[in-house]
Amino acid sequence: MSEHTEHRLGAADAISEAPPADETSRVERAAAQTDETASWLTRTMNSPGMRNAALVLVLLFICVIGILTTGDLGENLFARKSNILTILRLGATTGVVSIGMTFVIIGGGIDLSVGAIVALASVWATTVATQDYGPAGIVLTAVAVGTAAGVINGVLVAYGRMAPFIATLAMLVSARGLAEEMSGRKTQTVTRQGFNDFFQAEPFGIPALVIMFAVVALIGWLILNRTTFGRRTFAIGGNSEAARLAGINVKRHTLLLYALLGFCCGIAAVMILARTTTGTSTHGLGYELDAIAAVVIGGTILSGGRGTIAGTVIGVLIFAAVNNIFALNNYTTSKQAIAKGLIIVAAVLFQQRINRNSRST
Amino acid sequence: MSKEEMNPSGFGRRGFLLGAGAVGAGAVLAGCTSNDDKKDAKPAAATNAAAPAAGNEAEGKKFTLGFSAPAADHGWIAAITNNAKDTAGKYKDITFKATEGTNDLNLQISQVETLINDKVGVLVILPHDGKALTAIGRKAMDAGIPVINLDRIFDSPLAYRTHIAGDNYGMGVAAGNYVAKVLKEKGVSGADAKIGEIAGIPSLPLTVDRSKGFADALGASGYKVTNSVPAAFTVESGSTAATQMLQAAPKLNAIWNHDDDQGVGVLAAIKQANRSEFFMVGGAGSRDAMDLIKADNSVLKATVTYSPSMASSAIKLARLLANGHGMGDLVEKDVPKIIILSSATITKDNVDSYLDTGFKS
């Protein structure tokens, strides 16, 4: 039921932007067909569950490649517990950012400033003055700085009516600048051993960072799928005007989405502090692209209104696994970059195909 | 959208309270930005104190020294800029005129143009890209201003009076020789030795030179690099690259890490992986690395220098040029055309004599 509502919203959105006439009729026909004659098969294929199942297949395929290219089964480099945990640990930091990014993109926005916010939060949390307050001071500062930067993004987008692309681009530049200014472009070491001990711990053999990622993903899933907040996010992303007419405070909700992403960046900053034991203005370089790519691969649509947390998690894992396989095989980063680009293109084409099939058959 | 614009209640009382709360939080956080570390002794300047006034050190002709370098977004470049400033400050006959560091080629070109128009006495230029700034170096020389080309070399010898630079190939050779020597002492044969390399940005010529020097020196002793991963001179990239490499190589005998700035992340990753069966050699010569070598309680046993002290020497060369002096102990009446620094290998045995050249990353 909710799936159908989303389609209608999407179609209405398309019409309001006055597409060519033939396009309008095609969309209307397609919308009508999904309502009346969609077969069981296409409906299933178009459900988030099936799309994620396809993604899982892709991930499994990548894992098989990983196993085949890294030695005999007995001493396989890829399929070792420590390597799997390494993949998860390296994916965890961008993973947390990607969960927040999923919300913003489903809500019809985009945030280019996530990497810069992570850098700023990591620097602010490791100044000598902050570290005087101990491990709790470090964590609270990182999260507060991240959230505050997210709130500024949200205010600019929602109340300042700036295009998200521009507002967050400005934040990207200025947050990293502020981080450089604050740190004097030096690397700041975490001197509180308690902080390192806590976040580098491995309860039950699982690194704390992986547990943090899992918890953030689970809470994100609950918020998106089991709360009014989540449903409103879909509604706004599908058609913000319709959502406003339906009585949703679109501006406030948009602000909250960016604040939520800022909060996630704060957590990611804590994680990167734990991983590198330092805060610097060069942390988080390229996170915006990694996060957006993971979200898009995960089936979330850039124009908003549709997406899943599970898809994003799989998207993150696909990237982390590919990076790992290339490193295990001693390949260069240039080849990695090419592979990443191809994976993005393949994933998006694949999803478009599924969507088109479901509308026209 | 237009209806939203007419909505006057966008930023009501609650919005105001929220805003006030945010400002309050900001004020509290601002207290955390202080970075004055009272406990930390001020690092020694990277230059030897000017010798008692005699010979070349005696106060000479007053002149203006123009200085231009890339943005200090990396500990090494920051040290270059600081060393230049500090050394110039020691001489009463130098009026130091530095431009704001930039990675924008056009901006650096126009900055140097301004210095030429101001008719400075001597120019010291560390170009962001030697090829791109060749023309402007030539222009300065044609205008009768001697140019000291720091580190990244111009395309044409006509564009500089003197070139002073580090030796990237030699740095790799120094690292390779040290690794080979220690492995021989330990009785590890060339066939058994597992040698890892964590390189810098792979597309830069300096990275290619360093890797080649390393491979050549190892090859001369019958060893070869078995695992190589690139990083990007940042702490985070160092941590990620090292984590991946430790998975790819379950056992290692030695690692050369090209850059001490990224080395902070490399060491954090090694510690978290609980690995210590190998020894590590650093690169560049940061103060942190030297302190670790001196303490002798980590895998880091040596570092090969690419010292930013060359900026201090460049300022001294500028003085010699302005006064028409030659270099102290040499017979020639003029400053040489090219000076390539030798890459020193710093170990526990000689670290004390290098501590004052270590830069803060």
pLDDT at position B3 over 70:
no
Contact status, residue A89 vs residue A102, Cβ threshold 8 Å: no
**B196 forms bridges with which residues in the sheet?**
B227, B255
Residue A187 and residue B261: Cβ atoms within 8 Å?
yes
Q: Is the dihedral of CA B2, B3, B8, B12 positive or negative?
A: negative
Interchain contact A285–B (C-beta under 8 A): yes
What six digits make up the tokens of A57? 């297949």
Interatomic CA distance for residues A20 and B139, integer angstroms = 57
Structure confidence at residue B34 as a pLDDT band (50, 70, 90)? low
How much of chain A exceeds pLDDT 70, in percent?
82
Chain B residues in contact with A322 by the CB 8 A cut-off are: none
Q: What is the DSSP letter of A155?
A: I
Whole-number pLDDT of residue B167: 92
Whole-number pLDDT of residue A342: 87
Beta-carbon neighbour count of residue A240 at 10 Å?
23
Q: Which of residues 126-165 of A touch B (CB under 8 A)?
A: 127-130, 133, 137, 141, 144-145, 148, 151, 159, 161
Q: Transcribe B35-64 into DSSP letters.
A: ---SSSPPPPPSSPPPPSS-GGGS----EE
Interatomic CA distance for residues B181 and B173, integer angstroms = 12
Q: Which of residues 181-240 of B touch A (CB under 8 A)?
A: 202-203, 227-230, 232, 234-240
Contact status, residue B312 vs residue B86, Cβ threshold 8 Å: yes
Count of all residues that appear for chain B in the document = 361
Beta carbons within 8 Å of A259's beta carbon, 6+ residues apart: A147, A150, A151, A154
Q: State the pairing for strand pair B254-257/B279-284.
A: parallel
Measuring CA to CA, which residue among B279, B340, B335, B265 is closest to residue B306? B340
Measuring CA to CA, which residue among B82, B50, B100, B45 is closest to residue B287? B45
* Region for residue A239 given its phi and psi (left: phi exceeds 0; alpha: psi -120 to 50; beta: otherwise): beta
> Which of A7-16, A263-272, B30-39 has the weakest average pLDDT?
A7-16
Cα dist from B211 to B30, B75, B124, B170, B229, whole Å: 44, 21, 29, 10, 11
Give the mean model confidence (pLDDT) for residues B242-266.
93
Residue with tokens 């899992």: A214
Q: What is the pLDDT of residues B13-26, one digit of tens each?
A: 555 555 555 555 55
> A346 or A114: which carries more pLDDT confidence?
A114
Structure confidence at residue A179 as a pLDDT band (50, 70, 90)? very high
Whole-number pLDDT of residue A269: 95
> B329 or B198: which carries more pLDDT confidence?
B198
Q: What is the pLDDT of residues A103-157, one digit of tens each?
A: 999 999 999 999 999 999 999 999 888 888 888 899 999 999 999 999 999 999 9
Amino acid occupying residue B357? T
Q: What is the pLDDT of residues B163-175, one digit of tens each?
A: 999 999 999 999 9
Interatomic CA distance for residues B361 and B357, integer angstroms = 12
Give the mean model confidence (pLDDT) for residues A255-277.
95
Rounded to a whole number of angstroms, the distance between the first and last alpha carbons of chain A is 20
Count of all residues that appear for chain A in the document = 361
Measuring CA to CA, which residue among B142, B69, B129 is closest to residue B99? B69
Structure confidence at residue A346 as a pLDDT band (50, 70, 90)? confident
Q: Which of residues 313-342 of B touch A (CB under 8 A)?
A: none
**SS3 sequence of A322-335:** HHHHHHHCCCCHHH
Residue A128 and residue B34: Cβ atoms within 8 Å?
yes
Interchain contact B23–A (C-beta under 8 A): no
Distance from CA of A43 to the nearest CA of B (A): 33
Residue B243 and residue A128: Cβ atoms within 8 Å?
no
Measuring CA to CA, which residue among B295, B283, B250, B256 is closest to residue B361? B283
> Considering chain A, what is the average pLDDT of its residues?
84
- pTM, two decimals, is 0.77
Query: How many CA within 13 A on the CB side of residue A245?
Result: 8
Q: What is the pLDDT of residues A285-325, one digit of tens each?
A: 889 989 999 999 888 888 888 899 999 999 999 989 988 88
Contact status, residue B319 vs residue B89, Cβ threshold 8 Å: no
Measuring CA to CA, which residue among A69, A116, A155 is closest to residue A281? A116
Residue A334 and residue B202: Cβ atoms within 8 Å?
yes
Interchain contact B27–A (C-beta under 8 A): no
Task: Say whether A153 sits in a helix, a strand or coil.
Answer: helix
Give the mean model confidence (pLDDT) for residues B227-246.
91
Give the mean model confidence (pLDDT) for residues B216-227.
94
Beta carbons within 8 Å of A183's beta carbon, 6+ residues apart: A123, A127, A279, A280, A281, B35
Interatomic CA distance for residues A266 and A270, integer angstroms = 6
Whole-number pLDDT of residue A11: 44
Whole-number pLDDT of residue B202: 82
Q: What is the pLDDT of residues A185-194, one digit of tens each?
A: 788 888 888 8
> B19 or B273: which carries more pLDDT confidence?
B273
Burial B236-266, CB ≥16 within 10 A → b, else e: bbbbbbbbbbbbbbeebbbbbbbbbbbbbbb
Whole-number pLDDT of residue A360: 46
Interatomic CA distance for residues B261 and A186, integer angstroms = 9
Q: Which of B29, B74, B202 sits opposite A333 (nearest CB)?
A: B202
How much of chain A exceeds pLDDT 90, in percent?
45
Task: Say whether B3 sits in a helix, a strand or coil.
Answer: helix
Structure confidence at residue B64 as a pLDDT band (50, 70, 90)? very high
Give the mean model confidence (pLDDT) for residues A247-262.
94
Whole-number pLDDT of residue A2: 44
Residue A334 and residue B33: Cβ atoms within 8 Å?
no
Where would I find the beta strands (DSSP E) of B292-356? 300-305, 338-340, 345-347
Chain B residues in contact with A89 by the CB 8 A cut-off are: 243
> Considering chain B, what is the average pLDDT of its residues?
85
Interchain contact A182–B (C-beta under 8 A): yes
What six digits make up the tokens of A209? 């960072």
> Which of A165-179, B23-37, B129-143 has the weakest average pLDDT?
B23-37
Residue A86 and residue B244: Cβ atoms within 8 Å?
yes
Beta carbons within 8 Å of B246's beta carbon, 6+ residues apart: B252, B269, B270, B273, B275
Q: What is the pLDDT of residues B279-299, one digit of tens each?
A: 999 999 999 999 999 999 999
